[in-house]
Amino acid sequence: MTANEDNIHKFYSAFSKSDTATMFKLYAPNVRFMDPIFGSLTGNDVFCMWSMLIDKGKGKMHIEVTDIRADEFMGSAKWTATYQYSAANRKVVNVVNANFQFKDGLIIKHTDEFDIWKWSRQALGLSGALMGWTGFMQQKIQEKALLSLLNYKLHQGDKKHTITV
């Protein structure tokens, strides 16, 4: 197992244990993250996003990871999150393909790719099934996610999620 494969394994192991401190130690301070729901986030916003998702999951999110591969610069994994989507109290099983870029042993870019229409059908029910494939609905999903992140940050006093080594 390469060092970066081990880092990916540590990241998802920490995620499954709601251990944000370990997750954040594996990221560079200016990490860039992208996915279909939150769009593009950088640095502290990435740390806040993971903290918010873990807090909302209330320890009931189940994470499984497979197909971890990495070399010195690039990596990937397939992971599945099973949880109750809090806004609608609906069960979601989200299968995600993750890609990573590394520098000096830290994750500098993390991109999660998944079928947002499939996610919206599970999370939102009929409206997601009917409209989740449209750019309009996907934009609304992203706007709601970013507003939720902003509210979380305000509730947290916009405290910086610091990384200690």
pLDDT band for position 157 (50/70/90)? Answer: low
Beta bridge partner(s), residue 101: 74, 109
pLDDT at residue 156 above 90? no
Residue 150 or residue 89, greater confidence: 150
Number of structural domains in the chain: 1
- Give the domain extent around 12: 3-115
Say if 165 falls within a structural domain.
Answer: no
Non-local (6+) Cβ contacts of 11 within 8 A are 22, 23, 26, 107
Give the model's pLDDT for residue 130.
79
Say if 93 falls within a structural domain.
Answer: yes
Say if 130 falls within a structural domain.
Answer: no
Say if 148 falls within a structural domain.
Answer: no
The pTM assigned to this predicted structure is 0.87
Non-local (6+) Cβ contacts of 51 within 8 A are 20, 152, 156, 161
Kindly state the tokens that stand for 65.
């990871």
Residue 1 or residue 13, greater confidence: 13
CATH number at residue 82: 3.10.450.50
- Return the percentage of the chain with pLDDT > 70, whole number: 93
Least confident of 44-53, 82-91, 125-134: 125-134
Kindly state the tokens that stand for 128.
């997601």
